[in-house]
Structure 1
């Protein structure tokens, strides 16, 4: 399998092409028009992928759900990661990074255990105990606000693949070309408006207004969309 990659050539290697996640989500949704009418479901990765996924689901009139995934933070540097882990226990490691950092199995497990607790908390807050969407035989559209190393999305793909979907589509506003190449062998289609080359990549540089979404902001978005009931605490 080698994914079909769809991009906007006019946005290749450009910075600051989206005002914010809301605008990026709307523009991305328009590029997914061919999926309208499919037996499909949008699966967003919290937190930044939620406004993207909500825009796609609303535009295509598709059901929406979440894939609870988190990066594994580097000890002493929580902003950077050496892999990712899903709520279902899928662990994907950036092996070159692990070797460079000299991380032991004990250190990796310590970080993973900490993240597992955060995943459970996010599942309770963001999904409110609702049953997961039925994925078997459907087209799955996995969304995030961008792909840097790609390991979080890789964990999402592996979790989704076990459900027996007909097709997996990765849909993101921005990504590095290296990461597109990394994921191309794992999914059927990748839609990414702003692909950038070079040795340095930051998701935030695709946006003019960028900040990390707080838990309260995520919950508010999910309630506003109707995904979460208003009386959940």
Structure 2
């Protein structure tokens, strides 16, 4: 599960994509972004306008500054960042619950294919204690009802002092994906368990994110994580 965009939302509403839905957008069977099939169909057909097709400088800089961090990447999609880390001998796991995304990523990673797993973030247990969970087009891919689950699961996976850092898509949007989130809501969502350490502008965003991404670094505090939700929905 990675991120944006379907020609219509459940019930037939168009996506909230800057500039509207572009010509040539294929028709899809699945309209529910909370469903595995939604993302699997898009990766299978190569419709991934959220895919950077590489690693952004902000990621490289942060990764180099935290060179000993073991990294978990949820909603990894084509897993460019996982490849970058694995090639440098870093401890990393990248997960996605869309089989086509995982298959694509494993082919691209070649000798490092085993760092990519098909899994649901909300139930996944990584094989190591993550020092950094990388956020990239994952929160904004989730239906809004799953946001509290996202925060609770992040808190459960990270020990005090560990980091949740990456690209956050800000500004509330009525439709999606991508589902933007207001800064006020994001702060309320994360501050029970995290302290904001850094907030930086982002250059070189893709059209679906341009002008609304920030690189945010959150540090896990010592507040105990909430019990896991009984359902992902």
Q: TM-score, normalization: structure 1?
A: 0.33
TM-score under structure 2 length normalisation: 0.33
Structure with more relative contact order (C-alpha pairs < 8 Å, separation 6 or more) = 1
Pick the structure with more strand per residue. 1
